[in-house]
Amino acid sequence: MDSPLIPHGVKRCTPGVFFLWTLPWLALLAWGGLSAFLCLWKGLNQTNMSNVFAFALWIVFDLAVIALGAGAFFTGFLTYIVGRKELKSIINTAVVIGFICYSGAMVMLGIDIGQPVRGWFIMWHANIHSMLVEVSFCITCYLVVLAIEFIPLILENRQIEKVKELRFLGHNLHEIMAVFAATGTFLSFFHQGSLGGMFGVMYARPFAAREGFYIWPWTFFLFVLSAIACGPCFTILCTKLTEFLSRKKLVPDDAIEFLAKLSGRLLAVYLILKTFDYLGWIYGIVPRSGLTFMDFFRDGPYGVWLIVAEMIFCGLLPAIILLTPGGRKSQGALIFASLLNCTGIVLNRFLFIIVTLAVPVMPFDRFWGYLPTWQEWGIGLAVVGYGFLVFSLAYRYLPMFPKEIELNPVPSE
Amino acid sequence: MKKSNDHGKPETGHESTNGSGQKYGMVIDLDKCTGCGTCMVACAAENNVSVRADQSDKERVITWMRLYKISNGKKFPHTEVSYFPRPCMHCDHHPPCVSVCVATATKLDFNTGIVSQIYTRCIGCRYCQAACPYGARYFNWWDSFPQDKGMDRYLTPEVSPRMRGVVEKCTFCHHRLMRAKNQAYAEDRRELEEGEYITACTEACPAQAITFGDLNKPDHKVSQLIKHPYAFRLLDRLGTEPKVYYLSSRDWVRKLADNFLPGEYEPVVNRTWAEDEWSTKPGRDEF
């Protein structure tokens, strides 16, 4: 039925099977749509956020997907600026993932603010000292860049390509993609960093506060590094999942292995710097605030195990696997390491958001716990559903994997 | 281009109020506070703080002035309890909430020392709430007042009610300052007398535990009280320089106002309030 839209020379499932595949994701989107409607109509009282947990599940989702989507800018940088030709077979995937992550995060942020119609005040009444202004500005601009990077791929659709003007536009956009890759890299460096800076500058919250260089707390640089260490792993995970579901090889091993190796090295460097950061914090800021490290975990559900899990199980372990040639070559080990790496970054963001707010600063205040409502889960999971849906549509109708035909020749009938 | 404040200095959000203008501050004597809660009620009524039918959800209700009950943690008969009223601290040095605000909806006024909140500019991102260690900022999770209960008749006309989805906080009853300034202007005066501008909680406290005035004026009572050996500030070592001071002769109370590593806290006196009833003696404030 939709065969005229499917790229030449590739095999896709029947429209019926594809429709069934999209049903769970459409259901998630419907759940999210209902939740969003309730939050916009009745207000944020539909959530379990409070004056203690001013930031909650949505901000964790936001920071996590933005970090996981870092594969887009970093792969773009490596492909167009550094000139790693082998990554051309995976750059489209990285861009689509980046677009999904950033657009999803933007929608979620729009619902998260108490007065969504005043969102433009961030630009109009911008407080240049606020890290969140830098984040908002760079994310907005970068989403435009991602859309521009996504457009040539959309224009390569079989039917759209038939329109001469659009084909011409797509081709010319391809030619100047290095400019957008460079712009994306610049913007991403600042918003990934500022997301970390947001927490590091909260000097009156000893759990999050960090020293740093000039106006940038160390978290600024660590967030950039952790994002580029895990972003490629998320791209690998999405590719492997697509390969598993379609039972096809879609990306040559050299591209995957290069990304895995780079991810491993960056993760190792990150872990070393993060260890120094933790030590500097434990022996600097924490005692200066009159606290000890264990004071933060005296009570409440968020224990020191979170840091052990972040640094050892989701940091050191995947770094070792990714740095070992055998680990990278073994499909199981590679996927396991990528999963751990991505989990580690989510844990890191969770610590900076939820645990920072759960730990009381006033000695006579108490520890707080937080559980999201179904509306919060609905909106968070809608981003997952949206991601699956857009990715599936892009895979079905666009030449997302340029090497797919070469790797899977269709037997002539 | 950097904005300038009224003194012509560039405004970076990192300065503190200087000595030339007013610097309004508060001293709360915890030895006098009985925990009656009148300050909370007066504050809420004066400032049109929203109410809900069920106010038991303490994580989401709005209490610009919040009363904490603290204890020395000892068992009977050595148990001691104190009440700890906590308004916004109106931090004087680089207020944690000001520099983080995305839409410049909150600022430290260099002429008064008051940290303000512009409700119609706040987008409700709640970054300021996350940054404030005192929990002094509140988000409007619901529409401010039930529309059909006739509660609008009880509103203070000088204070705008807040809409759903914005953050609000103690303003040191800024409208009272405006009123006092108007009065002074009408009487052709440039300076306000001590006591001419006080907050609703100060006025309402039956134990007169709250003193309010200009910390830049040496003859104001607050300026004298903050030099008292028993004066301290909440979370002082974080460097926010609150303009709300507390007084207590009890060491355990002062110790609970900040975080201390073992051996760091230096007691002012070793005797407790319970032992010598110091706070009830005449001449308590003339140290």
Answer whether residue B54 shows pLDDT above 90. Answer: no
Answer whether residue A23 shows pLDDT above 80. Answer: yes
- Summarize pLDDT for A301-349 with one digit per residue, the tens: 888 999 999 999 999 999 999 999 999 999 999 999 999 999 999 999 9
Which of B126, B162, B236 to substitute to test the interface with A, most A CBs within 10 Å? B126
Which of A41, A53, A127, A357 to substitute to test the interface with B, most B CBs within 10 Å? A127
- Summarize pLDDT for B89-121 with one digit per residue, the tens: 999 989 999 999 999 999 999 999 999 999 999
Answer whether residue B12 shows pLDDT above 50. Answer: no
Range of the domain at A60: 49-370
First to last CA, chain B: 49
- Summarize pLDDT for B201-252 with one digit per residue, the tens: 999 999 999 999 999 999 999 999 999 888 999 999 999 999 999 999 888 9
- Taking the C-alpha atoms of residue B113 and residue A92, their distance in angstroms, rounded to an integer, is 54
**Contact between B68 and B35 (Cβ < 8 Å):** no
pLDDT at residue number A11: 86
pLDDT at residue number B93: 86
CATH at residue A252: 1.20.1630.10
- Whether A206 is covered by a domain: the verdict is yes
Chain centroid to CA B217: 19
> Scanning the structure block, which residue is given the tokens 């995970």?
A237
Count of domains in chain A?
1
Answer whether residue A394 shows pLDDT above 60. Answer: yes
Q: Is the peptide bond before B77 cis (omega within 30 degrees of 0)?
A: yes
In chain A, whose CA is at the least distance from the CA of B141? Answer: A45
- Whether A173 is covered by a domain: the verdict is yes
- Whether A181 is covered by a domain: the verdict is yes
Please state, in angstroms and as integers, the Cα–Cα distance from residue A13 to each residue in A131, A241, A243, A401, B197, following that order. Answer: 46, 16, 14, 16, 76
- Taking the C-alpha atoms of residue B216 and residue B239, their distance in angstroms, rounded to an integer, is 19
Best CA proximity match to A269, nearest among A228, A328, A220: A228
**Contact between A55 and A370 (Cβ < 8 Å):** no
pLDDT at residue number A170: 84
* Residue A189 CB coordination number (10 Å): 19
E strand residue ranges, A115-238:
212-213, 216-217
Answer whether residue A63 shows pLDDT above 90. Answer: yes
B135 contact residues in A (CB cutoff 8 A): 51-52, 362, 365
pLDDT at residue number B229: 86
Q: Residue B164 contacts by C-beta under 8 Å, 6 or more apart in sequence?
A: A43, A114, B140, B141, B142, B143, B144
**Contact between B100 and A131 (Cβ < 8 Å):** yes
pLDDT at residue number B10: 40
- Whether A403 is covered by a domain: the verdict is no
Q: What's the ipTM?
A: 0.93
- Whether A41 is covered by a domain: the verdict is no
Q: Residue A187 contacts by C-beta under 8 Å, 6 or more apart in sequence?
A: A73, A138, A141, A142, A145
Q: What average pLDDT does the segment B149-171 reach?
A: 90
- Whether A389 is covered by a domain: the verdict is no
* Beta-sheet pairing, B66-71 with B231-233: unpaired
**Contact between B30 and B84 (Cβ < 8 Å):** yes
**% of chain A beyond a pLDDT of 90:** 76
Residues paired with residue B24 on neighbouring β-strands, in sequence order = B214
pLDDT at residue number B13: 44
Best CA proximity match to A387, nearest among A60, A96, A110: A96
> Scanning the structure block, which residue is given the tokens 């529309």?
B147
Q: CA angle, corner B233, sides to B228 and B235, nearest 5?
A: 155
In chain B, whose CA is at the least distance from the CA of A46? Answer: B141
* Residue A90 CB coordination number (10 Å): 28
A&B contacts, CB < 8 Å? 164
* Beta-sheet pairing, B244-247 with B24-29: parallel
Q: Could you give phi then psi for residue B257, rounded to 5 degrees?
A: -85, -5
pLDDT at residue number B57: 84
Residues paired with residue A212 on neighbouring β-strands, in sequence order = A217
Q: What average pLDDT does the segment A165-180 reach?
A: 86
Query: Are A114 and B105 inside 8 Å of each other by CB?
Result: no
- Taking the C-alpha atoms of residue A283 and residue A277, their distance in angstroms, rounded to an integer, is 10
Mean pLDDT, chain B, rounded, equals 86
pLDDT at residue number B16: 53
Query: Are B240 and A288 inside 8 Å of each other by CB?
Result: no
Answer whether residue B146 shows pLDDT above 70. Answer: no
B68 contact residues in A (CB cutoff 8 A): 362, 364-365
DSSP at B10: B
- Taking the C-alpha atoms of residue A57 and residue B197, their distance in angstroms, rounded to an integer, is 43
Q: What average pLDDT does the segment A26-54 reach?
A: 96
* Residue A36 CB coordination number (10 Å): 19
**Contact between B122 and B167 (Cβ < 8 Å):** yes
Query: Are A202 and B99 inside 8 Å of each other by CB?
Result: no
Model confidence band, residue B1 (pLDDT cutoffs 50, 70, 90):
very low
pLDDT at residue number B4: 41
Sequence spans of domains, chain B: 24-220
Q: In this complex, which of A54, A133, A357 lies closest to B139 when CB atoms are compared?
A: A54
Query: Are A121 and B102 inside 8 Å of each other by CB?
Result: yes
Q: Which of A155-164, A266-275, B132-141, B255-264 has the lowest average pLDDT?
A: A155-164
Answer whether residue A411 shows pLDDT above 70. Answer: no
Torsion angle in degrees (nearest 10) through CA of A374, A377, A379, A382: -120
- Summarize pLDDT for A79-108 with one digit per residue, the tens: 988 988 889 999 999 999 999 999 999 999
B102 contact residues in A (CB cutoff 8 A): 121-122, 126-127, 130, 132-133, 136
Amino acid A109 reads L
**Contact between B46 and B209 (Cβ < 8 Å):** no
Best CA proximity match to B244, nearest among B197, B202, B182: B202
- Taking the C-alpha atoms of residue A63 and residue A196, their distance in angstroms, rounded to an integer, is 9
Query: Are A52 and B264 inside 8 Å of each other by CB?
Result: no
Task: Compare B36 and A300 and report the one with higher pLDDT.
Answer: B36
Answer whether residue A39 shows pLDDT above 70. Answer: yes
Answer whether residue A17 shows pLDDT above 60. Answer: yes
Q: Which of A397-401, B55-59, B84-88 has the lowest average pLDDT?
A: B55-59
And the tokens for B194?
A: 């001590």
- Taking the C-alpha atoms of residue A37 and residue A45, their distance in angstroms, rounded to an integer, is 13
Answer whether residue B7 shows pLDDT above 60. Answer: no
Task: Compare B215 and A369 and report the one with higher pLDDT.
Answer: B215
- Whether A398 is covered by a domain: the verdict is no
A129 contact residues in B (CB cutoff 8 A): 12-13, 99-100
Please state, in angstroms and as integers, the Cα–Cα distance from residue A60 to each residue in A50, A68, A116, A353, A354, following that order. Answer: 15, 12, 19, 7, 8
Please state, in angstroms and as integers, the Cα–Cα distance from residue A397 to each residue in A5, A8, A238, A293, A324, following that order. Answer: 6, 10, 17, 53, 37
Query: Are A287 and B165 inside 8 Å of each other by CB?
Result: no
- Taking the C-alpha atoms of residue B226 and residue B222, their distance in angstroms, rounded to an integer, is 6
Which of 194-213 (A) contact B at CB < 8 A? 198, 201-206
pLDDT at residue number B269: 61
H or E, element range at A101: helix A91-112
Query: Looking at CA atoms only, how far is residue A392 from chain B in angstroms?
Result: 33
Query: Looking at CA atoms only, how far is residue A317 from chain B in angstroms?
Result: 33
Best CA proximity match to A399, nearest among A174, A152, A184: A152
Which of 41-80 (A) contact B at CB < 8 A? 43-45, 49-55
**CATH 1.20.1090.10: does it fit domain B24-220?**
no
- Whether A233 is covered by a domain: the verdict is yes
